[in-house]
Chains A and B, each alone.
Chain A
Amino acid sequence: MESINYQNFRIDAENICVDYNGKVALYDANLRLKPGQICGLVGMNGAGKTTFFNALTGFVNISKGKIRINGESVRSAQKDQTIAYVPQNEGIDSQFPISVWDVVMMGRYGSMNIFRSPRESDVQAVKDAIERVDLTDHLSTPIGNLSGGQRKRTFLARAIAQRASILLLDEPFSGVDIRTEKLISELFIQFKNEGKTILLSTHDMIHVREFCDLVLLINKTVVAYGETSEVFTPENITTTFGGISPDFLFGPES
């Protein structure tokens, strides 16, 4: 039997469990992703999608199991800025008095000195990132004055500036305009070519088919995991959504 080389996996989560004060949010969940793979995370509200993200970033501790990021611990992944988290629009305070530039600069904080004073290279990284999401005209715009799509792009730019090899995106397509959606899908292709690994949660079944090589269906634990074409079946989806027919979720043609 060949031994598994953990270095080959960007994300390797093995039988992880998370509970909040005795209440189980996620149990026996497994996930393995390689460089360049895009995986969709699908489940109901409260199925443990956010918990899964939180476990991978180390925002919550797992009570059981093991997580390896590029073969290393979550702790050293944090130190190396390996993972970037792009929050849901609802997950941030849009009235916070902060500009696009400041938010994207936060992507560099982890590698700066204690005062977080930007070096030339940080400034350049931020400029480049903002250009890639097409927000150069809005450098000093407060995030409160941006549209939903622009705000989403700001946080994507922060992930780009961070130079993370793994991107976790919480509902990247919710509440964005067509232009942003197109830009995000172009970025996904670029990220894939750069060997980045993407895990995204979504409610939109069409986006899963369109972008995701792999899909992870969860309902407190993994319902099904594998190639989208094989796993994303009406039966599995019905199980994931607690018996609700996929017809009801995304039209009879599925």
Chain B
Amino acid sequence: MELCSFLTLDSFITDPLTHDFMRKALLMSSLVAAVCGFLSSYLTLKGWALMGDAVSHSVMPGVVVAYALGLPFSLGAFVFGVGSVALIGFIKQKSRVKEDTVIGLVFTGFFALGIVLVSKIKSNIDLHSILFGSPLGISLSDVKQTIFISLLVVILLSIFRKDLMLYCFDPRHAKTVGINVFFLHYLLLTCLSLAAVVGLQSVGIILVVAMLITPGATAYLLTDKFDNMTVISVLSAVISSLIGIYVSFWFDLETGGSIVLAQTFIFLFAFLFAPRYGIFKLKKLFAGYK
């Protein structure tokens, strides 16, 4: 019976859809992936991968405190996400320690605080689902929060799409023509914190940085146009999410890990076969040797 359902693609796709939790997981994870994928273009071009890692880990104590106090966990995560960046900036400015070191020590400090808090505040917080995500067990209030935050990020990024592109490309020019660079910097950080918050539900705190950088990196290998890069990034993120969830359903694998692995495989494929920037440069292979 199990084997039969494997043999037809149709039931491979439709069977999981009969479960309510699977429909919800597929929809929510796609939404989250789209948001993270959208942001991913900016983060990879700005060179904020490490910053993404820092922010996503730093939200940990915020999530725990918010749960303990009965607040929306996104609020706690947001405060600690932005707070970590402010602290990184402060320490960097006031000491001679190099930036990457400061980033590393601040986010591990926050992360450790989160883990200690979880062990102390014996509530119904499930450490495993925070660390590794739980797209299959997402609650109704989480769904509402996720939709709200996702829409907010998408609207913000859409409005300031071109300004953010300019900010990533040439902040000096932006400043020279009177565009508020300070605002754009914190807008991007805010979106990063918010995306980390929704992303951690899908794949967990440890892997959420992958959602924020892998789709952008994949798209960067496939195009020379910024708008195309955003589209490819979103598509590859959503497709990875769907693949990851289906595969984890059929083979009983950890969902978050499966989603990120799917993204990694898509990246590797682009790395090897991208028409212009891949190792094997498919275009040339098809065109024959001149």
B-contacting residues of A (Cβ < 8 Å)? 21, 54, 57-59, 75, 78-81, 83-85, 87, 91-93, 96-99, 102, 106-107, 109-110, 114-116, 142, 144-145, 158, 162
Most interface-central of A75, A93, A145 (chain B CB within 10 A): A93
Most interface-central of B45, B176, B224 (chain A CB within 10 A): B176
15 intermolecular pairs with C-beta atoms under 8 Å apart = A21-B93, A57-B175, A96-B169, A97-B225, A98-B165, A98-B225, A99-B224, A99-B225, A106-B170, A109-B162, A109-B166, A109-B174, A109-B177, A109-B179, A158-B173
Which label, helix, strand, loop or mixed, suits the secondary structure of the B interface? helix
Residue B163 at the chain A interface, CB threshold 8 Å: yes
CB of B112 to closest CB in A, whole Å: 29
Does the CB pair B224–A144 fall under 8 Å?
Answer: yes
Within 8 A of A (CB), among B226-250: 226, 228-229
A-contacting residues of B (Cβ < 8 Å)? 45, 93, 159, 162-163, 165-166, 168-170, 172-179, 220, 223-226, 228-229
Does the CB pair A110–B172 fall under 8 Å?
Answer: no
Chain B residues with CB under 8 Å of A54's CB are 172
CB of B207 to closest CB in A, whole Å: 26
Does the CB pair A57–B169 fall under 8 Å?
Answer: no
Most interface-central of B162, B169, B174, B177 (chain A CB within 10 A): B177
Measured CA separation A91–B176 after assembly (Å) = 15
CB of B165 to closest CB in A, whole Å: 8
Chain A residues with CB under 8 Å of B223's CB are 97
Does the CB pair A93–B169 fall under 8 Å?
Answer: yes
Chain A residues with CB under 8 Å of B166's CB are 106, 109
Does the CB pair A57–B172 fall under 8 Å?
Answer: yes
Does the CB pair B170–A87 fall under 8 Å?
Answer: yes
Does the CB pair A109–B163 fall under 8 Å?
Answer: yes
Residue of A nearest to B224 (CB): A142
Residue of A nearest to B92 (CB): A21
